[in-house]
Amino acid sequence: MENTHTTFLVLKIREDKNNGKTEITVADGFDSMVDAKKYKEAKDSLERLTPSEYWVYSYKIQQIFYKSFVQEAKAS
């Protein structure tokens, strides 16, 4: 599959303990699953060490596939 790329997004999920409201944002993006997992594990560890009274934070990895619509220039 020519011009097809993949990236790994780490999603930050923020949940309000009181009313159940949830917010999902992109924390960061990586070219490899290994880097994304390291980032996620580090963030999850920080959240376990600093618990919040009102919010629960968690991180998930989402793999995204996309196709480039820009043709690569070929050398003559």
Mean pLDDT per 10-residue section of the chain, whose length is 76 residues: 81 90 94 95 91 86 80 58
- Sorted by sequence, the CB contacts under 8 Å of residue 34 that are 6+ apart come out as none
Tally helices (H) and strands (E) across the chain: 1, 3
pLDDT at 76: 53
**63 contacts 50 by C-beta, under 8 angstroms:** no
pLDDT at 55: 86
pLDDT at 56: 87
- The residues spanned by each domain of the chain are 4-67
pLDDT at 75: 57
Alpha carbons 31 and 25: distance in angstroms, whole number: 18
pLDDT at 72: 59
